Every structure is written in structure tokens, then in C-alpha cells.
A and B are shown apart, each in its own frame.
Chain A
């Protein structure tokens, strides 16, 4: 198991050091600094073995978090734990920075004592932790017996992510379908790989211990329902109006993973998503699709080398969705060679600029409706070099945001049942939003 956990600043100075196991000595702190943080070359692996001691590290801005062990630990668990640790810290004091860590070092030690025991991760749900560890020191002295046992039963309980007795005057639910669409396209316009990785992010402000059921246009469910004759729950949907472009009825989901509140065995047997939600913000599920993806933009590059000192670049982008919808924050990034001396750009729409420090022409368009196209052309002057190595021509990448789900996913329903309190599904105010963003959206040129 984890033998120790260290947090360093960018210079390699220790901010937090907590050792859980006797086999980890003080010298481990220095070993990591010397061999990884101060190492000359780029980090070649997130797992480093130094003198039979293994170090796992992740970096958040310029803060290093390192877990140390001398045993054959579950490596995936260690990384998951480090990410979780970051989440917990962020939810307590915001951004993970040297300043914030120093300001909260007592709190961090308390957390580390609670969520890692002898190197074994324990309950690390912030909802539960915040009931008894706070930035103002530990609660506990003045608690009543009931409060204490409520805390312990929540920390160890089946529903560790939600406490009893939550009350809201207005029961509200916010549901965001956030998708990032990834594309790798050849210069000829052939899709080399494309997938959507999506997340369903919720904010729930619900009283009591509500039981929720979430439904979407999952092909397997729809097909099953179609066969069984039990039709059109979809038709009744009051949530499906996200405004996707195609009339596609259902989508094939390659794989999905769920927040720990979702009953996995029920999903496995019935493919229904039911859960008791955490209070506040959380990510309900992640999913991935690869079939029938709507690619919101097509990039058509044309690069011509004119002699040894000049390049001509022309890039056309075409938007491919309903004309009534608007894409925003569009940015096209055209890489330029290292020996670029000057660039002239002409674009039909938006603003384009050559950024020497980033070796790229950045073309920004604020808004663009569907089924439109726009074009940029640039002349790049090159300094003559005797470098034999050819320019690697990195791909042209794109960023954008569109108000629909490129996977075609639609929310069919989200029902809330709370039998003990007197509010029903109809009393809950629900908000649904679809946002599609570019992930790694690249076209080779």
C-alpha cells in the first residue's frame, strides 16, 4: 500500500510530507526531488523506481504530488487516489497552489490522516468529510451524540456520499450533457479516428433521500422497448428539447462508466440507471461513442511550398449543423515552421494573427451559424536554413463550442422519487443543457 505522500512546489521544496509506513525513510523525499523534479530531461514515466522504491506522481499546475511505496501496490488505485486527493483539496480551498497549500497545511494533514490509513484509502467523499473536517478546525467538541453517530454512519455507510436530513424549499435539478468530440482527419478528408467522450454532469438540490432514475436514447434500451411493445416513454419526454440536428432516434454507446452512487448491478441486468444522488455538484456518468458522430466542423487544408523560403497555406472551414444553431469560441490553430520570419494573413471572417511564440497562426471567430463556410489564406516567409530535417507539419487543430450533443445523445427522462417527504417528480424543477466542445480535433496537413 501507499507508504507515504509528499507534496512539493516547483522548486522541489516539500510542502507536505506524510509517511504511513515504516519502510519509507526520510531520504525518499529527497530521492524524488533529485531524480524526478530536478532531473534534466523530460519526465519519461509517471512511475519511477529509485533504489527499489516506487514513486507515483501527478502534477497540478506547478505542484507535484508524489505517492511512495516499496510494495507491489495497485498502481491504478494510487493514481486514482492522487486525483481524488486533488479533488478533495480543491473542494476545500480552491486552486491547488503553493500559497493555498501553505495556508491550509494543517487541514491537509488532517485530511491525509482521515482518507488514508496505513496507506489504504478510506472514504474520500467531500460531502461526508465536510461534516467533520472543516477549514475552521475540526468539529466534534460540541457535537451531540446523535450528530457524532450520524457522522460515523455516513462515513462508513452504504450511502457515504449523501447525508440524511437535507432540506430545500425549492427542489431543483440541473443536468448538463457535456461532450467533447475528437477527430483525427487525413489531409484528404478521410476520418482516421473520431469519437465523442461525454459526461453527464448534475447539480441536485433535492430534499431527503431521493431515488432518481435517468433515461437516455440508448440504442439497447430503445430497441428492447420497441420489441417488447412498451413504447414511447421518449415521446412523453419533457426534457429532450436540446436541439440536436439529426432526427436520429437512438445512439449506440460503446461504453459508459458511472459515479459510485449508481447501482451497477441494476445497469448490468436491466440497463437502467438508478441512484441516490450526492448533494450539489457531481458527475453522474461518462460515456463514449464512435458511431454516427456529427462532426460540427470540417477543415480543408492546403499547404504549398513555394521554393525553399515560402509557404502558402489556405484553410477552409465548413460548419455542418442546423443553420439555426450557432457555434461559438471558434479557434483554428495553423502551425508554422520554426524558421518563419514573417506571415501575411487574409481571412474572410473573424481575426487571425501570427503568434511567433507559439509557432502558429491563430484564427478566431466569435460566432458561426450552421451550414456556412469561411476561409483563411496565409503566406509564410521562411528564413533559409541548412537544417536537413524536414518540418514535421503538425496537424491543424480546432476549438469550438456548439449547443448540441455531437453524439446525438438525448435525455429521455430524469425521474425523482422521494417516498418519505411530500414532494413528487412534478414538483422538481429540472433544467437540461447540451454543450458540445472540441476535444482533440485535428486535421493533418
Chain B
């Protein structure tokens, strides 16, 4: 019987699905037919008719005309039929609100049914009917169901509260459902707990400031208990909720971690990833010298690797997350390179992600293997994959210096294959290698030039042109090569045009005699025949530069280029922190904060990692960027002056001193055929270009450092505003610590090599030394002493090298310093002369410390005091500096500076120009006041420093520059 029904139904269903022509011609008749069947007396016929209606609904036909007839079928004791009718109701109730009311009675009655399955079904369905009138009737049944004796009904009711909240939030609050929901967190049934947690988390998301979840150690304990007992899905809800909690101290953090780690062995990858999220977040709070910290790090690697044997879609999610984890904590997976090797049959999305992670994990230790793999990949079929593999070889060269030579020769081999896109990709990366290792690999230029004709992609053409321009003096026929490009100038893309312009100007500056004609040609092409404002502006700038002062032009255009960074594609740290808090979710797959793809209020709340709040002593571990002065970085300083009178004062202040700020005065009068229009603007443009262009001109400037990765690099575009937001949240970053430099080479100290840096951590100045024994014998008995210096720096304790330093051993020591030693003015001011003794001899060296080490934590100043002090210091004591090529917005800059105890006292914006007023207090009580001017879009900042002891200004400026650029 059942079999026969199905058969008949299939035929109908099947024919409707596939034969749309038949369907359209009989539409009217069919609806009519169905209507008759729905009103039939025979139960079986009714049921079949409802099934047909649902089938039509599925394929997108409008069967809403049948609403009253279908609802009439609702009053049935056949559960299957009831469910089908409910399904229909959920779909069409919204479009027929008045008729939907007809269903209410049945719902209310069903909520009282003795069968728990029917009670739950009713409450579940009612929540899905988004009709205001019905919601009102829902309240009473829902209240009963929340306290139902059956856990199945309670767990369904818990979710229903979230549904109702989505329809009418106010109603839920007024009816007190939130409190009932909170009570369910203590329910005896784990599934009820899990659903209540899910519902509350969702509701809390749309009330960012409410304390809805009210997580405290007691409730956390309940959740952790339920975690062991509920379904895999419930475990995910609970873990995701736990991740929003911030433990009070490291002990609580550790105990939660201990109870979460068993989840890492769960078969469900989502449980594993959510557990990883909790652990990654709470680990932040653990002291790094703790044994448990190391254990935890070790425990994280195997489950992450195991995720790679899951189905490909999950592998993809896992890899996107591993990409974040590797950036945050590279130590976890540093030995697991091999598992990221690409398999021939991996889907392309898995291959591309694996490749990304391979590059991140590449190090001197495994580079040979990695390169062998990459070379293999470069011969595969998928074009995107091959390109990425070629790029990866270039990135390896830049990242691991020892491998550069091998990488270059691999790239040359690949160029020999003459496969068009491989050649182009290789040329783009070789350009980066040239920049990273100047004067090392230029011998390959000849090979590159052979392939000039085959380049048809703008990026590759631009890269090749850059190479020709940059090395014009070594390429005999550089002028011919560039001239050949010039023929089709107007057909080129902007990127190529800009590059060609710059390259020819470079060529001219290098070989002025032969190329005058060429340069004139390109300048006129750029300025007169082009509609592109960027190109025109750059053309004019070069033109004026060349015509006014060729020497200056040479300095500008052929200036030394800043080094490019080793790690490319890194996610900006604040975003990375936020994404770590979103492990496992879509945000971690997109590598974008939720606000970038979620509409409305949900997910706008930015999550961040907790700060280390250790229990007491300041033995900080060398981790940059997490800890700001020991205290929790909750209170972001309000940097926008609110009082009107203060604003007025600041305005006055700005006007009083004659030449405080503003663009530098024009160096020479420029006459160029009544170009008055451009006059003022050009000066600042010029200023802008000095920063960008010596490298390679604005359009090109960003290219080498940032490889276009599909989702990562949030440069410009729609994401820009998000980043403003991210910066604006105001998390002070850690103090700037300069990279370690070698102070005492081994040759000068009988095999002892000392390198180091200075850091200020939690108010303590520390000298961080790395001692390496490059001699054959053991070194012992280390001691250290300072000469008198400008700020009275002296070791606050003995040098703690407890064990003898064996040959080829390296030890890192951190020496706390005080500022109460004897004082003597040094030149330069921040010079420090040091003597180190060991069992072999005494050695002397001198080093310079960044003066920011001396900026104390209580350097904040009242605005009024600031104003008074500023006025009080004579104008002669003011000095002005330029910081070039810095791309931070004012909020980000302010945050960054605050990490180094440079405090923003006020900020104001005049005509798109941001002015930050800042105060610094040195350890010896000297105050330095600063005004930082930044203009949107201009990477050059002007800084004015005022101080009663103007000698320090130079050093302070250097600190600004160092902090802002790092």
C-alpha cells in the first residue's frame, strides 16, 4: 500500500521536476485539482495532496493560493500530515498573516498535548511563524514549555526563545524569558544546557553591552561539566561560548585549559577547532615560563595535523585556520612542514592553502625540502597553483637568505621552460629578490631581457621595466629596450605607464647624454597626451625636478631604497588577534572580521585576546606586542577634546608661533607656463613623492612587499574602513623594541660575540643581551659595567650568566637597568659605553639605546598644563622634523606611540589634517611636548618638538620614527 503510494507520487513528482513545459501549461488546472484533493474526505488522498503541495513549494512554485485548504488539514492526529502542514505554514504564513491566525488554536492545543514530541513540535513550529499576532499567542505556551517536565520540550523551547527574540526582542525582555533561559543553564539535562547556551549567545550578540551571559567562575564550571556530557553539537555551542569569557587570572585560565584539552581528541573537527580557539585565547594569559604552557603548546600540534586527514572541505577550513595559528604562534607547527606537502589529488583550494602555510613554515632547517617540493609544483597543470608555486620560490629566497642563490637558479631554470605565465611570474619575484639583495644577482639580467617580448601581463611588464630602469647602467641597450615599450605607451595599463616613466627618468639620470630625446618623449606623453591624473602629476613632478635641479632630482629618484620585509602577506596584528578569537568560524575562513560580511548589529563587536595578568612579579617573557605596561589595556584614552574652549585654545596655540608646522616652504619658484593652479598642491605632492618615489614610484611602491593573495592582504579597498575601526578601538600596543644588533663582534673579543637590544617592560628598562661563544673553550665568570652616561643608566643587578658558556653555545640574558647611576653627558646623547668581563679578558664596546626606553609610564599631562607648558617654553627651543613614508592613520599612530609611553593629550582635525598633541616624560624628569601633523593620503608627517632641554629633541625624533615605522 505504502509502496504503491510512493510509486504514484514519484511519478508525479518526478515529471513535475523535469518537465517544466508540461507544468506551465497545466498550472491552473493543477492548482484546482490539488484544491479538490485537499478537501477530500479520504485521509490518504489528503495526505498525498499535501505532499504534492510541498513538492511544488520545494521547486519554487507558488502554491500560496492553497493556504486555507492546507491549513484545514492541520487538525489531524496524523503526526506526519501535521508536520507537512506545519512546513507549509512556515513558508507561507508571512504572506498570509490573517489566515495564519486560523492555525493558532491548534498550536495552543498541541502545546498541551500529552505526547512530548507533539508539544515540542508545536513550540518549535510556532517560533518559525513570523506573524506578530501569532507571536502574542506564543508567549503563554512558551512559558509553560520552558518549564516542561520533559527535557526534549525544554531544549526545544530554549531555542524558541532565540527565535522569538529575532522577531520581537522587546517582547522577550518584557516577558522575562531571558531570565528563564538563564535558569536553564543550570538544568540537569546537558542538551537543554547546550541549547540554552546557544540561544543566549545569539541573543547576547545583538546586545553587545548587556551582561546576558553573565559568565563567572560558577557558571563556567557548570558549562565545563555539561561539556563532558552533551552531544558533539552541544559541545561546540559551549566551547564557542567559553571562548568569549576572560578568566580573572592565569590560574583560572590554566584550570579551564586543562578541562578543555581532552576535546582535542574528539572525532568532530568543529569540536577540535573550537577547543583550539579556547586554548589559543586563554594561553595568552599563561606565563611562558610555566611548564604547563609548554605542555599545552605541544598538545596543540597533533590535533591540528589530524584535521588534515578530514574531508577536503574541512581540510580547507582547517588550513585557513592553521594559517592564522602559524602567524600567531609559529612554534606550534614548526616541525610539521611535511604534512603540508601538496598531494597530487588534493582539490585546488587545498593545494593553494597548503602552499601558503609551507612558505610560512619555511626556515633554514627545512628549506632544501621545501624548494624541492616547490620546483615539483611549478610543473603542475593548474595555472593559479603553478603561479603561486613560482611566487613561493621567490618568497623563500627573500625569507631565508642562505637559500637565495638556489632559489634564483631554480627560477632561472623555470624561465628556460618558456612557459609564458611561469616566465612572467618568475620575473615579478626576481625583481623582489633584486631589492632584497642588491648587487648580488644582477648577472641574470641578460637572461631576463631575452624574455622581454613574451611578457603580456602588466605586472610582469612593469617588473621588467623596473629592472631595466634600475640597472640601466649595466644594460647596454637599456634605451632601446625602453624605447620599444614606449611605442605602444597609450595601450599600456597605468601600472606599466607609471613604471615606464620612472624607468626612463632613471635612465636619463644615469646616461643623460644619449637619452635626452627619450626622456622628453616620455614626459610629453605622460603630461600632454594622457588623461590619467596620476600619470600626469608624476610626469610634471619629474619635469620640474629635472628642469630646476638635476642634482636634487638624482638624489630623489636614485635614492637608496628601503629594504623590503621578509615576511609578506602577514595579517595585520590587531586583525590577527581578532581572527584568533574567531577560530573555526567563517571569519577565520575569509580572514576578515565578521563586520566585513555580516549585516546589522551582529558580530560588529570586536573580539580581542586577553592580556597577561600574571599574579605579581614582572618577570616578563620576551614577547612583543601583547603586554602594555602590565595593566589590562581596557580603557582606551579618549583623545578627542570635548570642550569647546580647549579647542579654541589649541587653535590659538597653533597660530601663535610663526612657523610651527605646515608644508616646508617652497624651495624654488617654479615657472612652468602658468601652472599656478598646481602651485601649492604640487609642493605637497612633491613632498609626498619624495617618500614614495625613490623606491619606485607610488603605483609600484606597494607592489613588492605585498603579494596579492586572494583574501589576505587588506590593502585599501572596502576593507580600509574596517581597519580604521580596528585601529580606533584603541588597544595600546607594546613598547617598541628595536631589533637586536651586534655590539661586539667575536673577532674583537676573543670569540665572544655580544648582540642585543633595549626594552622597557612594565616600567623596567632592560638590556637584552645575547652572548655567543664562538671560541673553542668554555667561558665563565661574566660581569658587566657601564661608563657614566647622559641619563645615569646603570645595571640594577649582576649579569645573570649562571652556567658556563660552552663553545658554539648561545645564551640570552636580560639585565634590568636603573637610572640612578652617575651622570655624564655623552655624544651622541644616547651613547652607552659598556665593559664586559669574562674568564678570558675584559672587553669594551659602545652602543646606542633608543631614548624611548627612558619614557616613563606617568607621562600623561592635563590638557591645561600641556597648553601652559607649550606656551612657556621659548620658541627657540622648538625643532621641527619630517617623518617620511609612514602610512598610519592618526588613531593607529597614537596607539602605537602610547605603547612606548608617548601619550596623546589632544587631537584635532583641521581641513583634513590631523594634529596630535603629545607629551613625554623622561626618567630624569625632563618633559618633551610634541605636535604631530598628518594629512590624509600624505605619508609624510611633520613633527614639532618643544623641550626645555632641546638637546634631546634629535633623539626623541629618532624614536618617533622608529616607533611609527615598526
Question: Chain B contacts of A105 at CB under 8 A?
Answer: 13, 54-55, 58
CA distance A258 to B198 in the complex (A): 24
B83, B230, B303, B347: which contacts A109 (Cβ < 8 A)?
A: B83
| Minimal beta-carbon separation of B13 from chain A (angstroms) | 6
Interface pair B597/A152, CB less than 8 Å apart = no
Contact residues of B: prevailing secondary structure = helix
The answer to whether B195 has its CB under 8 Å from any CB of chain A is: yes
The answer to whether B495 has its CB under 8 Å from any CB of chain A is: no
Contact with B along A62-106 (1 / 0, CB 8 A): 000000011111111101111100000000000000000011011
Which of A371-379, A386-394, A406-414, A425-433 lies at the binding interface? A386-394
A71, A76, A197, A389: which contacts B598 (Cβ < 8 A)?
A: A71
Interface pair A141/B78, CB less than 8 Å apart = yes
Question: Chain A contacts of B259 at CB under 8 A?
Answer: 265
* A184 touching B343 in the complex, CB below 8 Å, given contacts A76-B584, A102-B10, A149-B116: yes
The answer to whether A153 has its CB under 8 Å from any CB of chain B is: yes
Interface pair A265/B313, CB less than 8 Å apart = no
Question: Chain B contacts of A393 at CB under 8 A?
Answer: 379
Question: Chain A contacts of B159 at CB under 8 A?
Answer: 117-118, 120
| Minimal beta-carbon separation of A15 from chain B (angstroms) | 7
Question: Chain A contacts of B269 at CB under 8 A?
Answer: 76, 79-80
Which of B184-192, B512-520, B698-706, B867-875 lies at the binding interface? B184-192
Contact with A along B100-124 (1 / 0, CB 8 A): 0000000000000011111010001
Which of B147-155, B457-465, B900-908 lies at the binding interface? B147-155
Interface pair A388/B418, CB less than 8 Å apart = yes
Which of A45-53, A208-216, A231-239, A293-301 lies at the binding interface? A45-53
Interface pair B265/A46, CB less than 8 Å apart = no
CA distance A409 to B272 in the complex (A): 24
CA distance A14 to B124 in the complex (A): 25
Question: Chain B contacts of A72 at CB under 8 A?
Answer: 582, 585-587, 594, 597-598, 602-603
The answer to whether B309 has its CB under 8 Å from any CB of chain A is: yes
Contact with A along B390-429 (1 / 0, CB 8 A): 0000000000000000000000000001110000000000
Contact with A along B160-192 (1 / 0, CB 8 A): 101100110000000000000000000001111
Contact with A along B900-926 (1 / 0, CB 8 A): 000000000000000000000000000
The answer to whether B311 has its CB under 8 Å from any CB of chain A is: yes
Question: Chain A contacts of B230 at CB under 8 A?
Answer: 158
CA distance A123 to B192 in the complex (A): 12
CA distance A136 to B5 in the complex (A): 11
Question: Chain B contacts of A70 at CB under 8 A?
Answer: 598-599
| Minimal beta-carbon separation of A63 from chain B (angstroms) | 14
* A74 touching B270 in the complex, CB below 8 Å, given contacts A102-B14, A137-B80, A288-B306: yes
Question: Chain B contacts of A29 at CB under 8 A?
Answer: 60
Interface pair A152/B150, CB less than 8 Å apart = yes
The answer to whether A121 has its CB under 8 Å from any CB of chain B is: yes
Question: Chain B contacts of A392 at CB under 8 A?
Answer: 379-381
Interface pair B348/A106, CB less than 8 Å apart = no
Interface pair B597/A288, CB less than 8 Å apart = no
Q: How many residues on chain B are close to A (CB under 8 Å)?
A: 118
Question: Chain B contacts of A195 at CB under 8 A?
Answer: 339
Interface pair B341/A193, CB less than 8 Å apart = yes
The answer to whether B32 has its CB under 8 Å from any CB of chain A is: no
Question: Chain B contacts of A113 at CB under 8 A?
Answer: 83, 86-87, 124
Question: Chain A contacts of B272 at CB under 8 A?
Answer: 76, 257
Interface pair B265/A264, CB less than 8 Å apart = yes
Interface pair B305/A288, CB less than 8 Å apart = yes
Interface pair B417/A390, CB less than 8 Å apart = yes
B17, B167, B348: which contacts A44 (Cβ < 8 A)?
A: B348
Contact with B along A277-306 (1 / 0, CB 8 A): 000000101101000000000000000000
A57, A82, A151, A388: which contacts B117 (Cβ < 8 A)?
A: A151
CA distance A197 to B10 in the complex (A): 42
Interface pair B345/A260, CB less than 8 Å apart = no
CA distance A390 to B379 in the complex (A): 8
| Minimal beta-carbon separation of B504 from chain A (angstroms) | 33
A58, A260, A442: which contacts B266 (Cβ < 8 A)?
A: A260
Interface pair A117/B124, CB less than 8 Å apart = yes
Interface pair B80/A110, CB less than 8 Å apart = yes
Question: Chain B contacts of A265 at CB under 8 A?
Answer: 228, 259, 262
Across the two chains, which residue of chain A brings its CB closest to B115? A148
Question: Chain A contacts of B594 at CB under 8 A?
Answer: 72
Interface pair B317/A75, CB less than 8 Å apart = yes
CA distance A286 to B202 in the complex (A): 33
The answer to whether B288 has its CB under 8 Å from any CB of chain A is: no
Interface pair A254/B602, CB less than 8 Å apart = no
* Top-4 shortest CB links A-B: A255-B302, A152-B152, A76-B270, A268-B262
